[in-house]
Structure 1
């Protein structure tokens, strides 16, 4: 039986093979650097557990997530790889990090002290990555104040500093001046270790943009996010790594009608035709994560042809203008795939492909191939 037959007439198809292929291409591109696949935000909409399990079996050495909850889900699913949680750590969360053997970001001496005390209480060592802010102004100790943090980190006996990292704000831009300045600041901070004759922890700063455009930023480890799923982080970056999109979003025609001239379609009466047209209804809407901003702007593929959305996208459905094209109930409708990329959808909606992918919510079933 076709796996899509038993579910609603809309689903996301995820190619785990494409994700593995992209991982291999990234690994070949970065040489000796390790590759940490980033599976935060439900693996960019692709399914965190299934993607993480496939990457673990494929040989990935570690994983990155944004939240403690994401990491706990992976542990409960049997993922045993080292996992780094990038986000800020609340004091009350520290015991959970330690209990689930997770690496956490540490950006202050006070936080290191709290982590050290929590680890001592259960007679273990906690693993951290020191977070350096080189220009993002999100979390992390400023690069010009980092030496005190690095010095203090050497004194906590229940804390193992497994890594030190920063994050690019503009590595996917055509102008790399800002990214190169951030890298220079990070490298300056890293001089702390050789100056004291110490082995540096694992150093990392390169996200997808850095992987594609700044080979000098690859250091010991890289953190591919959106490119792991076959989507480039912006239209400006060169395609120095060949990627295969891993996700397609499909639905079906569930209703067909002929709409007469002057008869508005959907909420707000924002679209009507001056001649008779064939209109079909598709059972997907902004309640699934298909943006309302695509109203009267987005396109889908039916029977190999692109057709525009007619009227406003509803919570659970939208309509498509076929003009006098042909379609029948049950015909496949492609929202992403068949020549429509996540970047296309982002352009129509006035956003970025990251938001397109992560906005597809759990109401849409995932099918893995």
Structure 2
């Protein structure tokens, strides 16, 4: 049986995004790509393999198990930074070789943690590369600047640990200029005050995705980039220089391309009469005779209940066009219902493709828009994608710009067995609903305003057929 849904990852777009990041930071700044939580739910091992082939300077994860996942996948040249305190490591663990070879780097959170890492280095006769995190205001992990100097002194005196990096983490780089500058100043003051204890080969890093775009002075010697490599995060506001308001060179939002696409299909179609309620709690009621499509995806797959009666999906018709359809009724565990009333009956069949998460900016099912509609963030929407959904990795022969296009795709040779199930339909038509203007119907929902087109399919899906009673 084929899977009920599939997450497709465009590795050509990943290549493009990495190149754009390199253009922004320049050749003198190193690039660390963050792959926490299985690469934000997109599949860390395969993405890490691609990143290593692109020459990314470092990969970062949170837990040792996440690092183990990368090493098991064959990551052997790129250093891996572990943010979570690492206390012990058995010689039988595959991470052992990464540790003794200096490819496993550990973030230090306090002096006691440093002592445990030094004991680990002593046990295996190696010098553990450590990055000391200076807590300049995040108040999460790391060491207060007042205590961090003593940690640097201990590192100087212990040959079983090596100061490989110094870092801090900005709390409000997405929208807080004053607080970010305040943290940067505190970090820089610490660096200045302890310059004598910082070796020349120590990598200083503090910028994440938002800081990279909005605060060039935070680039320092390395940037740590999360969702920007996947084409998410930066918008026009992030691209503007915080003082002049001008767009920074080579950093327009159009230069970044979302790589992820979540698709399913219609498995059942039925008609209901006007005034008929739909779903648990009867949160939606038809205002007219309505055609309903059943999609075998629900909150167990990671589609938020909060998008019930709010979101749109994109549906592919038989003439290879894409149009929005509202999600109606409460999202269930394994299924959801969409309104197909405005589609010509002959254009929708069982098996018609449904796109839940799109990879075209400003589409009704764009991940940033869905995050806003569900009162969440993009990171959460992607991370909650269930592991039971196969991830399929594609490499396109042509330019990565179109998301749904006629360009020929190749299935990645490193795909999993589940990946191969989706190889029969590698390329689909570009979404034509984005060619016109869009309007805001309230609640953050944007819809197309095209009106009727050939085939009797409407594109002005402002959900006129039902009411939200929940």
TM-score, length of structure 1 as denominator length = 0.93
Q: The residue matched to 2:291 in structure 1 has which SS?
A: strand
What's the offset of the Cα at 1:198?
4.5
Change (3 A) 1:294 1:235: farther
| 1:264 and 2:277 correspond | yes
Q: Which moved more, 1:234-243 or 1:183-192?
A: 234-243
* Structure 2 match to 1:33: 29
Asked if the contact 1:172/1:236 (under 8 Å) is kept, the reply is: no
Distance in 2, matches of 1:105 and 1:98, equals 17
Cα pair distance change 1:252/1:146, threshold 3 Å: same
- Specify which of 55, 65, 87 is matched with residue 69 of structure 1: 65
* Residues 1:247 and 2:260 aligned together: yes
Report the CA distance between 1:229 and its aligned residue: 0.4
- Given that 1:172 and 1:234 are in contact with CA atoms closer than 8 Å, whether structure 2 keeps it comes out as no
Q: CA deviation at 1:23?
A: 0.8
- Report how far residue 12 of structure 1 moved: 0.8
Tell me which residue corresponds to 1:328: 349
Structure 1 CA distance for aligned equivalents of residues 390 and 201 of structure 2? 44
The one of 368, 371, 378 equivalent to 1:343 is 368
1: CA distance, partners of 2:387 / 2:236? 28
2:51 alignment partner, SS class? helix
Partner of 1:232: 233
- 1:274-295 CA-partner distances (Å, limit 9, x unpaired): 3210100011110010001111
Residue 84 in structure 1 maps to residue 81 in structure 2 = yes
Alignment partner, residue 301 of structure 2:
288
Residue of structure 2 aligned with 1:170, choices 169, 172, 176 = 172
Per-residue CA deviations over 1:127-186 (Å, capped at 9, x if unaligned) read 11111111000000012332122222211111111111111111111x311011111111
Q: What's the CA shift for 1:356?
A: 1.1
CA distance in 2, matches of 1:145, 1:234: 38
The match for 1:8 is 3
Count of residues in Structure 1 that have an aligned counterpart in Structure 2: 362
- Superposition pairs for residues 141-152 of structure 1, below 5 Å? 141-152=143-154
CA distance in 2, matches of 1:228, 1:161: 27
Gaps of 5+ in 2: 241-247, 317-321, 395-470
Verify the 8 A CA contact 2:149 2:194 in the aligned structure 1.
no
How far did residue 93 of structure 1 move?
4.9
Distance 1:79 1:193 in 2: 34
Residue 205 of structure 1: aligned partner: 206
Native 8 Å contact 2:88 2:116 kept in 1: no
Distance 1:198-1:270 versus aligned 2 partners, 3 A rule:
closer
Structural mapping, 1:300-339, within 5 Å: 300-303=313-316, 304-326=322-344, 327-337=348-358, 339=363
What is the CA–CA distance in structure 1 between the aligned matches of 2:109 and 2:338, rounded to whole Å?
50
Q: SS of the counterpart of 1:137?
A: coil
Give, in angstroms, the shift of residue 234 of structure 1.
6.7
Equivalent positions of 1:48-197 (< 5 A) are: 48-80=44-76, 81-89=78-86, 91-93=87-89, 98-101=96-99, 102-173=104-175, 175-195=176-196
Provide the C-alpha distance between the structure 1 equivalents of 2:388 and 2:237, rounded to a whole number of angstroms: 33
**Which residue is equivalent to 2:397?**
none
2: CA distance, partners of 1:135 / 1:63:
24
Deviation at 1:199, TM superposition (A): 2.5
Query: How many Å apart are 1:195 and its aligned residue?
Result: 4.1
Do 2:89 and 2:120's aligned partners in 1 also have CA atoms closer than 8 Å? no
What is the CA–CA distance in structure 2 between the aligned matches of 1:158 and 1:363, rounded to whole Å? 42
Q: Give RMSD over aligned pairs.
A: 1.8
Distance 1:351 1:21 in 2: 27
The answer (yes or no) to whether the contact 2:152–2:197 under 8 Å persists in 1 is no
Q: CA deviation at 1:197?
A: 8.0
Q: 2-side partners of 1:100 and 1:298: how far apart?
A: 45
Counterpart in 2 of 1:3? none
How far, CA to CA, are the matches of 2:226 and 2:137 in structure 1? Answer: 20
Name the counterpart of 2:14: 19
CA contact (8 A) 2:163 2:199 kept: no
2:383 to 349, 358, 366: 358
Quick check: 186-195 or 289-298, which moved more?
186-195
Distance, in Å, in 2 between the alignment partners of 1:117 and 1:145 is: 21
Structure possessing the higher relative contact order (Cα contacts under 8 Å, 6 or more residues apart) = 1
